[in-house]
Structure 1
Amino acid sequence: MYSLLLAIIYVAFVSLGLPDSLVGAGWPVMHQDLGVPVAFAGIITMIIAGGTIASSLASERVTRRFGAGLVTAVSVGMTAAALVGFSFSDSFWMLCLWAIPYGLGAGAVDAALNNYVALHYAARHMNWLHSFWGVGASISPFIMSYAITSGLGWSNAYLIVGTIQAALTFLLLVSLPLWGRVNSVIPDGHAAEPHEAHEAGPGPSGQGSTHVPLARALRIPGVALILTAFFAYCALESTSILWASTYLVTDRGVAPATAAAFASLFLLGITAGRFLAGFFADRIGDRLLIRGGFLSVGIGVVMLALPLETNVLALVGLVVAGLGSAPIYPAIIHSTPVNFGRRNSQAIIGIQMAAAYTGSTLAPPLFGAISTWTGMWILPLFLAVLTALGLLMSERLNRLVGHRAAQEGDRTSTTTR
């Protein structure tokens, strides 16, 4: 039963990654057909981001009421409807309209699925699941490319992905009974931590659990630290993806084709790194994965910045930064129930998703504005600041959690005596 549901969740993560690259891949053709400037892509992405942030913040209440399975199915259905709506859109305002359910569905399913996996499956699965998201995100540009080159047009690329999402919605609806049968004991040997056993809740769906208001969740010690760390990580990831190629060309004199290839290797490094991290994630733990990830990103950024005559080290540094980035996102999510208790995890993961989308949305244009004044050379420094901030905040959280565990251990010892 666990394995069957896990397989369905793996398929869900592949499908969730599919829509994320479609707008960027198709926009060079889409904006011409719609008769709007290239810059209007930012309006679409901002609407989607706004929807994801709003639904992420509301995910805790919705998931506790309806359950993770139903929320996932309905949310994927919303994205399917939005993608089909994109395929029939012949004006920009229609795209903006369909971007609303697109964003709302993406944020809700992201928070619900991540919390479910964090509660009920081992760390290796969290890494592999996010690696499968990268597979989906890598496939969608090929779907768009095929649709355009074969004469089907960009609209049919959205229709193809929308149809895949609709099929997944049906699969998720059929699988709903499986979600409710999983008990509150985490399989694969990932037992609940002692300090959270008393707050495990009634089961995986979260139905019937006590609602944790947003204000209360934000006041939990350490939440502000992990939100800052998550914001910093997602900011450096999205900034690297958008601006690394431009930096290599304009500041390092790398050929555009070479720069584009290595910039894509950053994203492929994240995908491959998460797959590899899954093999040892259970043995070394989330804390070391986060620490090692940030340190590896830091090494990669230093290699990128070194003013050497050859660009080989800078190109390798970009790949190292991608591999280092790989385990940070899944490890932060997976460690949430342990750091803050299972009862609070859905609320906090929802806020983390909002922080992630905020960082991914705001950081790239912020860097673009800064670079117009300073020059593109500042990219490694910008990334270094974000890396240091993420590492500092995560280490402060580790000390806080360790101190709290020691206090609880002392209280347990005193009670036993």
Structure 2
Amino acid sequence: MKKVSLALVAQFATLLGLGVAASIINVAWPFIRDNFGRTDGDLGVLLLALMFGYMGAAFLVGRLVDRYGVGLVLIAGGLIIIAGLLGWGYSPIWAALLLSVFLTGMGSGLLDTTANIYAARHFSARLTNWLHASYGLGAVVGPLLTTAVISWGRGWRLAYLMGALLQVVIWLLYLAVRQDVSMRGMTVEERPENSIPLRSVLKSPLVWLGMFYFFMYGGLEHGAGQWSFPLFTEGRGVALEPAGTWVSIYWGSLTVGRVVLGQVTAWLGSQRLLRLSHLLALLGAILLSIPSIPVLGFAGLALIGFAVAPIFPTLIQLTPQRVGRKAAATAVGFQVGVTSLGIALLPGLAGILIDRISLEVVGPFLIVVALICLAVNERMSAQSAVELK
């Protein structure tokens, strides 16, 4: 029982650490931009480096977990992300920072996808939502930590060094549970010798539809988290501390949403919950688009976080049911991988639009992305119903 509990703690710690690492940039970016003499459009370059590392790892994780087990993949991913975060803290030039970002993405891809594969195999919908709530908790800490160290005059780099220290602690936990986590609880049909070829997985229309959805979802969740701080501070004149606090509230509302909405999945049903979540996210994006009443923008940002909260874990948990258990590990790896692509490309596209138009393009941009997510989710639901008949 103790060993199972440690294995569970390892998965939760993984998502917590990733949340901290990923959200530091939500507050740090304007300072990173000025430090290296870049523009807002260059955020897209940075996120592309992150995405290439993340996707390269995520697409391989399904096979790596099957061959080496969850424990060894977590250990490798932990070492890589520690190196990447240290690079954020010490890189003297832009090129060195991009290399560090790439390593951070690679480590994140290994850790995130492995935890999601483990969750898809072993966790209920409610526990999966709780797992992803730990990511949201980490994402609350990241902006608060960064706001604090910058306000104290210590600079944005210290936040990344503290994130690296947290990853060292989590890595020590991986060492303690490596034998407990690896291959535990896998059914006969899930074992490596019975996994199906990649070509067969990619023949499923639902796999491709799911990949497109996760691409758009990554842009929605992280676009709101990334651009709200510059929108509030540089676009609407909000002071640093309250703006940073509202970014943390965004991630906090996502955490609360995963806990609260995860509880209602059993009686509301996954499909109804997903539909409600998308509609509320759309409403939040509309409120964020209203510049004349600041409180509406704050409320809209918080509503987006609360609304999107159950979407990612619910769809991950549904993956084995939709594509089959043999294909689930590979499908989850692809879905998580293209999420990173959306996280890189869509906020990066928003940055280009901001350079050419203004920061007020953020709200309308999120409205469009939310509408696309709603439409694709409805299509996936209909396609799943047809294939299950």
User: Which TM-score applies when normalising by structure 1?
Assistant: 0.80
1:240 equivalenced with 2:241 (yes/no): no
Instruction: Pick closer, same or farther for the CA change 1:152–1:101 going to 2, 3 Å.
Output: same
- Aligned-pair distance for 1:175? 0.5
Partner of 2:256: 272
Kindly provide the CA deviation profile for residues 2-40 of structure 1, in whole angstroms up to 9, marking residues without a partner as x. 33321221122212222213345445556676x654656
Structure 1 residue corresponding to 2:279, chosen from 287, 291, 295: 295
SS at match of 2:195: coil
Rg bigger for which structure? Answer: 1
Single out whichever of 155-164 and 13-22 deviates more from structure 2. 155-164
Matched letter for residue 350 of structure 2: F
Structure 2 residue corresponding to 1:388, chosen from 361, 371, 375: 371
Kindly provide the CA deviation profile for residues 61-82 of structure 1, in whole angstroms up to 9, marking residues without a partner as x. 2222112221122101211122
Partner of 1:120: 122
Q: Please give the root-mean-square deviation of Cα atoms over the aligned residues, in Å.
A: 3.2
Can you give the 5+ residue segments of structure 2 that lack an aligned partner in the other structure? none
Decide whether the 8 Å contact of 1:49 with 1:103 is kept in 2. yes
Instruction: Pick closer, same or farther for the CA change 1:173–1:90 going to 2, 3 Å.
Output: same
Matches within 5 A, 1:137-176: 137-144=139-146, 155-176=157-178
Q: Distance in 1 between matches of 2:175 and 2:372?
A: 41
Q: Distance in 1 between matches of 2:19 and 2:27?
A: 13
1:46 equivalenced with 2:48 (yes/no): yes
Single out whichever of 141-150 and 120-129 deviates more from structure 2. 141-150
Single out whichever of 326-335 and 87-96 deviates more from structure 2. 87-96
Kindly provide the CA deviation profile for residues 56-101 of structure 1, in whole angstroms up to 9, marking residues without a partner as x. 1222222221122211221012111222344444444333333332
Q: Distance in 2 between matches of 1:24 and 1:318?
A: 13
- Aligned-pair distance for 1:126? 1.4
Partner of 1:348: 331
- Aligned-pair distance for 1:156? 4.7
Decide whether the 8 Å contact of 2:195 with 2:327 is kept in 1. no
SS at match of 1:383: helix
Q: Distance in 2 between matches of 1:177 and 1:73?
A: 11
Tell me the number of residue pairs that the alignment of Structure 1 and Structure 2 aligns. Answer: 384
- Aligned-pair distance for 1:375? 5.7
1:67 equivalenced with 2:51 (yes/no): no
Partner of 1:212: 197
Matched letter for residue 78 of structure 1: I
Kindly provide the CA deviation profile for residues 232-254 of structure 1, in whole angstroms up to 9, marking residues without a partner as x. 22212222223345666898xx5
The answer to which structure, 1 or 2, has the higher relative contact order (CA under 8 A, 6+ apart) is 2
Matched letter for residue 136 of structure 2: G
Decide whether the 8 Å contact of 2:65 with 2:73 is kept in 1. yes
Can you give the 5+ residue segments of structure 1 that lack an aligned partner in the other structure? 186-198, 407-417
Matches within 5 A, 1:4-403: 4-26=6-28, 36-37=37-38, 42-144=44-146, 155-180=157-182, 182-184=184-186, 200-202=189-191, 207-213=192-198, 215-244=199-228, 255-257=237-239, 262=246, 264-304=248-288, 312-370=295-353, 379-403=362-386
Q: Distance in 1 between matches of 2:204 and 2:297?
A: 41
Instruction: Pick closer, same or farther for the CA change 1:238–1:32 going to 2, 3 Å.
Output: closer
Instruction: Pick closer, same or farther for the CA change 1:259–1:217 going to 2, 3 Å.
Output: same
Matched letter for residue 396 of structure 1: R
SS at match of 2:205: coil
- Aligned-pair distance for 1:383? 2.5
Decide whether the 8 Å contact of 1:22 with 1:140 is kept in 2. yes
Matched letter for residue 367 of structure 2: A
- Aligned-pair distance for 1:149? 6.1
Q: Distance in 1 between matches of 2:80 and 2:63?
A: 18
